[in-house]
Chains A and B, each alone.
Chain A
Amino acid sequence: MDKYIWLIPLLPLAGFIINGIGRNALPKAFIGFIGSALVLASFGLSLAAFFQVKESGQPINVTVFDWFSAGQIKVSFSFLVDQLSAIMLLIITGVGFLIHLYSAGYMKDDGGYGKFFAYLNLFVFFMLLLVLGSNYLIMFIGWEGVGLCSYLLIGFWYTNPNYADAAKKAFVMNRIGDLGFIIAIFILIVWFGSANFADIFGKAGTKDFERAPYTVITMLLFVGAVGKSAQLPLFTWLPDAMAGPTPVSALIHAATMVTAGVYMIARSNILFTLAPDTMNVVAIVGLATAVVGALIALTQTDIKKVLAYSTVSQLGYMFLGLGVGAYTGAFFHVLTHAFFKALLFLCAGSVIHAVSGEQDMRNMGGLKSKLPITFWTMLIGTIAISGIPPFAGFFSKDEILAHTFMHSRPMYIIGVLTALCTSFYMFRMMFLTFWGKFRGTHEQEHHLHESPWTMTVPLGILAVLSIIGGFVNLPESWGGHQSLQEFLAPVFEKSTKLLVETPLASGTEITLMGISVAAAILALVYAYRRYVSSGHVPVSDTEQRPSLANVSYHKFYIDEFYDTIIRKPLDALSVFFYKIVDKMGIDGIVNGFGKGSIEASKGLRLLQTGNVGFYIFMMVVGIVSILMYIVFKV
């Protein structure tokens, strides 16, 4: 197996090259086939790698080639498949394949079909590089690469300037995070003399490295994660990123790329464990993000925006989990979230596809009978995210909440309230979309149709995964034995030793679960009463909302806030630099040189009289001076 590890990322890259070159020449069916089949092949290899790791319990470490060496530092281009990256590989290639398949149907009528598949394949390649890298530098290549692909795919319909702006926003915000990440890498190299995971994690916490600045490193790493995983305060790009095609939202902005931050922190868990201050910051930022995301999602009317804020909120949960030391829980949530959020996005895509591109839920409704498969699968996704057992989201979220409970009670309460909000806005979305009667135009109603099989098959598979996904880490109180935790134990071994936790009493655990389920059901019932029984529909943009709802609808005015405190002063500064420094200062110097030489030439020009006699005279003067110099020098 070791010999074929390098094929896992290479296959999608081959797909990118084939599709990229032949995007206009190859038939669409072939492009779709190549794009999907290569990812499927990658999935097969990942599966093989996963089982090898599972059976042997040993990570696979493969050096492809030596990348470069500078002084003491040797960086090799090597891949590491351990328990953590094996699961990530499965998520990326598995969910990635389903989304490729879905795209084949979804993007059927788009002019940029070949380009789209090329980008998707490229994204998968970089994402695989990110998780496969056995050192921070390879990870960083992938990290930057997925950022690039995210930019390309958000701005896929770049002819619309709003979409292009959204792409730029995502790119710039990611860049802020990347800066933190790369500084962290530098510090790591300075302190540990290597960027290798094995070297760093082996040395971390040992006596020789007691004084390493763990807090600084982890804070910087966390900044990187904040940018990539859309946490406060850099989360505003993610909702805007919904400008891209829906499969992109599902793959990049729900299932894989945004969880790269979580993966990175889980990977560096020992460093974070050694920096309790950072852990607290991570937990607080995660919780705040979860709350803010959920509150904004409450009033959004765009179906994809609801899902986007829900993603922000769920990512917040993951960071909360990381912050309280529940690495397995957080990673478990990454896994289940990949299933149900990809499912929800794909369902939303299916709905949008059916109603001819409409995304506003106020113009939907009553789609239950028209889109049965979409309806049922989306219902499963919604139940899963709301945390109703025995669906996947319940277990993962509950594990995070249980750890939060041990860590801090107030945080737990806020977390539960957020879960309540989650359940409410998700069911609100379901009810607005599928119940009631259709509120769109007559033409759209006439056009309603269920999606083709390439789109519904992935929905079905993801729905099944959303149901059973939670069982991979079934808690003992449910009769399971936490297989995921066992499986991942080697990765978090050092941290677990440091974070000694008293396990919850079984009774408390059941009580906590009861509380979260009760909250979810409560929200469900309230949403049902509000949106189905009384047929409430969110008001149109022109009408007045209650003030609190207004704040939520306008996303807490965060974009406007950034606009005021960052963009406007920056604009003013730019104008200042443009008008004063550049125009007057730099241009002045440059033009000054020009003017100076013109003036000087005007003076010197007078020497050139054009009078031959004068020239001869000057020649004689010159000869005399040279002679004098020679004579009197001696």
Chain B
Amino acid sequence: MSTFYFIAFLSVFFSILVITAKNPVHSILYLIITFFTFTIHYILMNAEFLAVVNFIVYMGAILVLFLYTLMLMNLNKESEPHKSILIKIVGFIAGGCFLATIVAALKALHVSQPVILQNPGLGLVKNLGGILFNEYLLPFELSSILLLSAMVGAVLLATKDKESKTA
């Protein structure tokens, strides 16, 4: 039980660091740590498939892609122009209001039963695979098309078009 609160504290702590770090590279590194804590959360809930996917896809692929892009642009220095303090305060207040509203909503709903894992095999690959390839076969296949089109789009966008090259 205490494990959860400790990991939750780490999650919040590192996510705050993500948005406050001056150097974007540091920011990404903190984000990787945050996502790692998420992976631990998944393990705590016995969702081992998600834990693995999160570890591989998010930390391994997506965030490395971020890092790679950032390095490519050579923006690892603290070159970001600062927003005025006023905007920061306003942004913070807005986010705070958001949090406050959701918390207020929680209070109103009184959802306080503990999370009990009735079925330990719920998040296992075997179980999820069964559901994924039975009930959710069509969305699963469609998501492959989505990934394909995203790949094509990314390639198209990132390629320098010939005209601008000649120009």
Bound: A627/B101 CA distance, A = 7
Within 8 A of B (CB), among A603-619: 613, 617
Contact between A620 and B101 (Cβ–Cβ < 8 Å)? no
Which label, helix, strand, loop or mixed, suits the secondary structure of the B interface?
Answer: helix
Instruction: Confirm or deny: A621 has a beta carbon within 8 angstroms of a beta carbon on chain B.
Output: yes
Say which one of B33-41, B89-97, B145-153 lies at the interface with A. Answer: B89-97
Q: Of A613, A624, A630, A632, which one neighbours B97 at CB under 8 angstroms? A: A624
Which residues from B are CB-within-8-Å of A613? 83, 87
Contact between B104 and A631 (Cβ–Cβ < 8 Å)? yes
Which residues from A are CB-within-8-Å of B90? 617
Contact between A624 and B94 (Cβ–Cβ < 8 Å)? yes
Which residues from B are CB-within-8-Å of A617? 90-91, 94
Q: Mark B84-117, 1 if CB is under 8 A from A, else 0.
A: 0001001100110110011011001000000000
Contact between A631 and B101 (Cβ–Cβ < 8 Å)? yes
Interface residues on A, range: 10 to 19
Shortest CB-to-CB span from B107 to chain A, Å, is 9
Bound: A190/B102 CA distance, A = 72
Which residues from B are CB-within-8-Å of A634? 108
Bound: A628/B101 CA distance, A = 6
Instruction: Confirm or deny: A413 has a beta carbon within 8 angstroms of a beta carbon on chain B.
Output: no
Which residues from A are CB-within-8-Å of B87? 613
Q: Mark B50-86, 1 if CB is under 8 A from A, else 0.
A: 0000000000000000000000000000000001000
Nearest chain B residue, comparing its CB with the CB of A623: B98
Contact between A620 and B108 (Cβ–Cβ < 8 Å)? no
Contact between B94 and A620 (Cβ–Cβ < 8 Å)? yes
Nearest chain A residue, comparing its CB with the CB of B101: A627
Contact between B105 and A631 (Cβ–Cβ < 8 Å)? yes
Shortest CB-to-CB span from A310 to chain B, Å, is 90
Contact between B98 and A620 (Cβ–Cβ < 8 Å)? yes
Q: Of B91, B95, B102, which one neighbours A627 at CB under 8 angstroms? A: B102
Which residues from B are CB-within-8-Å of A628? 101
Which residues from A are CB-within-8-Å of B95? 620
Shortest CB-to-CB span from B96 to chain A, Å, is 10
Q: Of A621, A627, A630, A632, which one neighbours B94 at CB under 8 angstroms? A: A621
Bound: A631/B109 CA distance, A = 10
Within 8 A of A (CB), among B120-158: none
Binding site for A on B (CB under 8 A): 83, 87, 90-91, 94-95, 97-98, 101-102, 104-105, 108
Cβ-closest 7 pairs across A and B: A627-B101, A631-B105, A620-B94, A624-B97, A624-B98, A628-B101, A631-B104
Interface pairs (24), CB distance under 8 Å: A613-B83, A613-B87, A617-B90, A617-B91, A617-B94, A620-B94, A620-B95, A621-B94, A623-B98, A624-B94, A624-B97, A624-B98, A624-B101, A627-B98, A627-B101, A627-B102, A627-B105, A628-B101, A630-B105, A631-B101, A631-B104, A631-B105, A631-B108, A632-B104
